[in-house]
A and B are shown apart, each in its own frame.
Chain A
Amino acid sequence: MTLALVFAALLAAACVVAVALPFLREPEPVSDALDELDAGERRRLELFEARDRALAGLKELEFDHRTGTVSDDDYRALVGPLRREAAGALQELEREGTEQAAEEVDGEGRPTGERIS
Chain B
Amino acid sequence: MAELGRAALVVSLGLCVYALVAGAVAAHLGRRRLALSAQNALLAAFGSTLVASAVLLSALLRNDFSFTYVASTTSEALPTAYTISAFWGGQEGSLLLWLLVLTGFAAAAVRLNRGWARDLIVWVVPVFGAVATFFAFLLVAVANPFATQAAPVDGLGMTPSLQNPYMLAHPPLLYLGYVGLTVPFAFAMGALISGRTDERWLVATRRWTLVAWTALGIGQLLGAHWAYEEVGWGGYYAWDPVENAALMPWLAATAFLHSVMIQEKRGMLRIWNVLLVLLAFSLSLFGTFLTRSGVVNSIHSFTQSSIGPWFLAFIGVVVTVSLSLVFWRLPKLRSPTRLESPISREAAFLYNNLLLLALCLTIFWGVVYPLLSEAIRGEAVVLGREYYDFFLRAFGLPLLLLMGIGPLIAWRRASLRSLLTTFRWPTGVALVTGVFLLALGAGSSVPGLIAYTFAAFVIATIILEFTRGTRARKALGATSWPGAFSSLISRNRRRYGGYVVHAAIVLLAIGVAGSSAFDTVAEAKLERGQSMEVGDYRLEYRTLDERIAANATEIRAELAVSRGDRDLGTLEAGKNAYTIEDQVSNEVGIRSDPLTGEDLFVIAEQIDADGTVYFRVFVKPLVNLIWIAGLVFLLGALITLWPDAREQRRLVERTREIGVPATR
Chain A residues within CB distance 8 Å of chain B? 1, 4-5, 7-8, 11-12, 14-15, 18-23, 26, 29, 31-37, 41-42, 44-46, 48-50, 52-53, 56-57, 60-61, 63-64, 66-71, 73-74, 77-78, 81, 100, 110, 113-117
- Which listed residue, B48, B51, B414, B658, touches A48 by the CB 8 Å rule? B658
- Which listed residue, B32, B37, B51, B660, touches A114 by the CB 8 Å rule? B32
Tell me if B198 counts as interface (CB < 8 A to partner A): yes
Question: 22 pairs across A/B with beta carbons < 8 Å?
Answer: A1-B3, A15-B11, A15-B15, A18-B43, A19-B18, A19-B41, A19-B44, A22-B37, A33-B30, A41-B659, A44-B659, A46-B198, A48-B654, A49-B198, A49-B267, A50-B267, A70-B414, A73-B415, A74-B410, A77-B413, A77-B415, A116-B35
Inter-chain contact B33/A29, CB cutoff 8 Å: yes
Chain B contacts of A36 at CB under 8 A?
Answer: 30, 119
Q: Chain B residue with minimal CB distance to A64?
A: B410
- How far is A5 from B3 in the complex, measured between Cα atoms in Å? 7
Chain A contacts of B412 at CB under 8 A?
Answer: 78, 81
Inter-chain contact A8/B4, CB cutoff 8 Å: yes
Binds A, one of B417-425, B440-448, B539-547, B617-625: B417-425
Inter-chain contact B3/A8, CB cutoff 8 Å: yes
Q: Which of B10-32 contact A (CB under 8 A)?
A: 11, 14-15, 18, 26-27, 30-32
Q: Which of B174-196 contact A (CB under 8 A)?
A: 196
If the complex has contacts A15-B11, A73-B417, A74-B414, are A21 and B472 also in contact, measured as CB distance less than 8 A?
no
Chain A contacts of B11 at CB under 8 A?
Answer: 8, 11-12, 15
Inter-chain contact A116/B415, CB cutoff 8 Å: no
Chain A contacts of B649 at CB under 8 A?
Answer: none
- The minimal Cβ–Cβ distance linking B40 to chain A, given in whole angstroms, is 5
Inter-chain contact B48/A11, CB cutoff 8 Å: yes
- The minimal Cβ–Cβ distance linking B634 to chain A, given in whole angstroms, is 26
Tell me if B465 counts as interface (CB < 8 A to partner A): yes
If the complex has contacts A33-B30, A34-B32, are A66 and B472 also in contact, measured as CB distance less than 8 A?
yes
- The minimal Cβ–Cβ distance linking A6 to chain B, given in whole angstroms, is 9
- How far is A41 from B41 in the complex, measured between Cα atoms in Å? 30
- How far is A66 from B4 in the complex, measured between Cα atoms in Å? 64
Q: How many residue pairs at the A-B interface have CB separations less than 8 Å?
A: 177
Inter-chain contact B658/A71, CB cutoff 8 Å: no
If the complex has contacts A23-B37, A66-B475, are A8 and B411 also in contact, measured as CB distance less than 8 A?
no
Tell me if B386 counts as interface (CB < 8 A to partner A): no
- Which listed residue, B31, B475, B657, touches A34 by the CB 8 Å rule? B31
Chain B residues within CB distance 8 Å of chain A? 1-4, 7-8, 11, 14-15, 18, 26-27, 30-37, 40-41, 43-44, 47-48, 51, 114, 118-119, 121-122, 196, 198-200, 264-267, 408, 410-415, 417-418, 421-422, 465, 468-469, 471-472, 475-476, 650, 654, 657-661, 663-664
- The minimal Cβ–Cβ distance linking A58 to chain B, given in whole angstroms, is 11
Specify which of A12, A21, A32, A69 lies most central, judged by the most chain B CB atoms within 10 Å of its CB. A69
- How far is A18 from B118 in the complex, measured between Cα atoms in Å? 20
Inter-chain contact A69/B408, CB cutoff 8 Å: yes
- How far is A49 from B200 in the complex, measured between Cα atoms in Å? 9
Q: Chain A residue with minimal CB distance to B8?
A: A11
The 6 closest A-B pairs by CB, nearest first: A8-B7, A117-B664, A71-B418, A22-B36, A67-B468, A4-B4
Secondary structure type dominating chain B contacts: helix
Specify which of B8, B266, B472 lies most central, judged by the most chain A CB atoms within 10 Å of its CB. B472
- How far is A74 from B34 in the complex, measured between Cα atoms in Å? 54
Inter-chain contact A37/B119, CB cutoff 8 Å: yes
Chain A contacts of B472 at CB under 8 A?
Answer: 63, 66-67
Chain A contacts of B44 at CB under 8 A?
Answer: 14-15, 18-19
If the complex has contacts A12-B11, A67-B468, are A18 and B40 also in contact, measured as CB distance less than 8 A?
yes
Chain B contacts of A20 at CB under 8 A?
Answer: 37
- How far is A81 from B411 in the complex, measured between Cα atoms in Å? 12
- How far is A19 from B408 in the complex, measured between Cα atoms in Å? 52
Inter-chain contact A35/B118, CB cutoff 8 Å: yes
If the complex has contacts A8-B7, A34-B31, A78-B412, are A19 and B469 also in contact, measured as CB distance less than 8 A?
no
- How far is A31 from B229 in the complex, measured between Cα atoms in Å? 63
Inter-chain contact A69/B422, CB cutoff 8 Å: yes
- Which listed residue, B47, B413, B654, touches A15 by the CB 8 Å rule? B47
Chain A contacts of B267 at CB under 8 A?
Answer: 49-50, 53
Inter-chain contact B37/A45, CB cutoff 8 Å: no
Chain B contacts of A48 at CB under 8 A?
Answer: 654, 657-658
- The minimal Cβ–Cβ distance linking A46 to chain B, given in whole angstroms, is 6
- How far is A5 from B6 in the complex, measured between Cα atoms in Å? 10
Chain A contacts of B415 at CB under 8 A?
Answer: 71, 73-74, 77
- How far is A37 from B198 in the complex, measured between Cα atoms in Å? 12
- The minimal Cβ–Cβ distance linking B99 to chain A, given in whole angstroms, is 15
- The minimal Cβ–Cβ distance linking B193 to chain A, given in whole angstroms, is 14
- Which listed residue, B40, B43, B48, B121, touches A22 by the CB 8 Å rule? B40
**Given A18-B43, A116-B122: 8 more A-B contacts, CB < 8 Å:** A5-B4, A7-B4, A15-B48, A44-B658, A53-B265, A68-B422, A69-B410, A71-B418
Chain B contacts of A100 at CB under 8 A?
Answer: 659
Inter-chain contact A4/B411, CB cutoff 8 Å: no
Inter-chain contact B411/A57, CB cutoff 8 Å: yes
Chain B contacts of A26 at CB under 8 A?
Answer: 33
Chain A contacts of B468 at CB under 8 A?
Answer: 67-69
Chain A contacts of B264 at CB under 8 A?
Answer: 53
- How far is A26 from B32 in the complex, measured between Cα atoms in Å? 11
Inter-chain contact A32/B198, CB cutoff 8 Å: no
- The minimal Cβ–Cβ distance linking A115 to chain B, given in whole angstroms, is 5
Chain B contacts of A66 at CB under 8 A?
Answer: 472, 475-476
Q: Chain A residue with minimal CB distance to B422?
A: A69
Q: Chain A residue with minimal CB distance to B664?
A: A117
- The minimal Cβ–Cβ distance linking B436 to chain A, given in whole angstroms, is 27
Inter-chain contact A56/B265, CB cutoff 8 Å: yes
Chain B contacts of A11 at CB under 8 A?
Answer: 4, 7-8, 11, 48, 51
Inter-chain contact B410/A4, CB cutoff 8 Å: no
- Which listed residue, A53, A68, A116, touches B36 by the CB 8 Å rule? A116
Q: Chain A residue with minimal CB distance to B195?
A: A42
- The minimal Cβ–Cβ distance linking B463 to chain A, given in whole angstroms, is 13
Inter-chain contact B41/A116, CB cutoff 8 Å: no
Inter-chain contact A34/B37, CB cutoff 8 Å: no
- How far is A63 from B14 in the complex, measured between Cα atoms in Å? 54
